[in-house]
Structure 1
Amino acid sequence: ALELLQDVHLGLVPPRRGPARLAVLSGHYLYYHYGCDGLDDRGWGCGYRTLQTLCSWPKGQATGVPGLDAVQAALEDMGDKPRGFRGSRSWIGCVEASLCLAHFGGPLGRLCHVPRGAGLCGELERLYSHFAGGGGPVMVGGDADAQAKALLGVCMGPDTEAYVLILDPHYWGTPKNPRELQAAGWVGWREVNSAFDPCSFYNLCLTSCNF
């Protein structure tokens, strides 16, 4: 298992130089990614890793963060998945993540469904209010775009330009420091219109200490 890095977005320059409404998550989190616990989950584990990042918030500690086997066992026990799911390489999304947040006593999770990726522009005010109000990381995943990731912030200009701060769990290796991850784009600001597939639906799982 690797030593996990905390708050890997810190030090990033805001995407706009001019006037903007900027809000990022409060509290602390750990960056969970492919293979960080010694398990090779490349190709299927991004939802689990994003869930683990959500569970590490708001203290930025691994205490109470379930392993992948524990997540699969819990989903079996809850009846969400059939017997035999445990030990498989089946992926999970935001719905399963919200169930596991409640099961493991993590932060509260609230689901939001967006029928098409282009519709995420209509959720920017919700995301801004979430982060400005002390909310935690937001898991996002879809169907055509099934690569789970976390949103850590939003930045909106006075025009239609808008950005989201994305944390990507698909990194494989041993990151030395946050700057290395930032330089390679594993955490960074992305323009909303290019960050999401307009043909995919998306679910969001917003975390908070009190909804």
Structure 2
Amino acid sequence: MSSLLTNIHETAGTRKETGRTYLVSGNYEYYHYLCDGFDDRGWGCGYRTLQTICSWMRTNVNNDVQVPSIREIQDISVKLEDKPQNFSGSRQWIGSFEVCLVIDKLFDIPCKIIHVNKGDELNSIVEKLVEHFDKFGSPVMMGGDVDCASKGIMGVHVGSKDASLLIVDPHYVGKENTKEFLFNKGWVKWQKLSDFLNSSFYNLCLPQVKAKSKQ
């Protein structure tokens, strides 16, 4: 049985200000740097976010599929001819497009890719995220260019002045103590769209499948 914490976004709660909040549905495990003893610090954030999404898929879609290791993810990318042979065993990062391919291969689930040219244009996709969490409830992966650190998006809040995304950050290194510890240290947080970098583009991967609780 996995020792990973589950549903760590719950410690962030819902936004207390007026507005609308939409959250991930169903259970998932929190994957992060070194969580399985494999040292991927500095390059593995995309893989860890993918593993978190795969854990959600395993719980809510198909429990016959195991969460793949980083090496298994790389091998899948090579077999799909998306990456060259020397990608397996490397420290090359992956982004939203690779995450989309692996999810489709493992679970036969399509994903929608949304590209945003720069941070101050994230407002243009708020309603798309609202629709996604309202209809599907599956976790979203977000990666970028300058802000290249991949992260999980577990919810969106639409306030009167600004929208916020509920971030689950895979860059944590250490033994999880409690969900509250991760929240207090900022590994789980609500981040306003105005705090994202305007100098970076962003890609989001939205799995198009409903949680069991949504069906």
Instruction: Give the TM-score normalised by the residue count of structure 1.
Output: 0.92
Contact 1:2 1:38 in 2 (8 A): no
Report the CA distance between 1:13 and its aligned residue: 3.2
Q: Which residue does the alignment assign to 2:200?
A: 200
Q: Which residue does the alignment assign to 2:162?
A: 161
Structure in which a larger fraction of residues adopt helix: 2
Contact 1:57 1:107 in 2 (8 A): no
Q: Which residue does the alignment assign to 1:92?
A: 94
Deviating beyond 4 angstroms after TM superposition, the runs of 4 or more aligned structure 1 residues are 60-63
Contact 1:15 1:163 in 2 (8 A): no
Contact 1:142 1:202 in 2 (8 A): yes
Q: Which residue does the alignment assign to 1:38?
A: 37
Contact 2:65 2:107 in 1 (8 A): no
User: Bigger shift: 107-116 or 182-191?
Assistant: 107-116
How many residues of Structure 1 are paired with residues of Structure 2 in the alignment?
Answer: 207
Instruction: Give the TM-score normalised by the residue count of structure 2.
Output: 0.90
Gaps of 5+ in 2: 211-215
Q: Which residue does the alignment assign to 2:213?
A: none
Report the CA distance between 1:131 and its aligned residue: 0.8
Could you say what the CA RMSD is over the residues aligned between the two structures, in angstroms?
A: 1.9
Residues 3-22 of structure 1: CA deviation (Å, up to 9, x unaligned): 111101113233333x2111
CA distance in structure 2 between the aligned counterparts of 1:107 and 1:183, rounded to whole angstroms: 34
**CA separation of 1:9 and 1:80: change in aligned 2, threshold 3 A:** same
CA distance in structure 2 between the aligned counterparts of 1:62 and 1:182, rounded to whole angstroms: 31
Contact 1:116 1:201 in 2 (8 A): yes
% same residue: 42
Residues 102-154 of structure 1: CA deviation (Å, up to 9, x unaligned): 11116542111111121111111110111112321110001111100011101
Q: Secondary structure at the match of 1:15?
A: coil
Contact 2:115 2:203 in 1 (8 A): yes
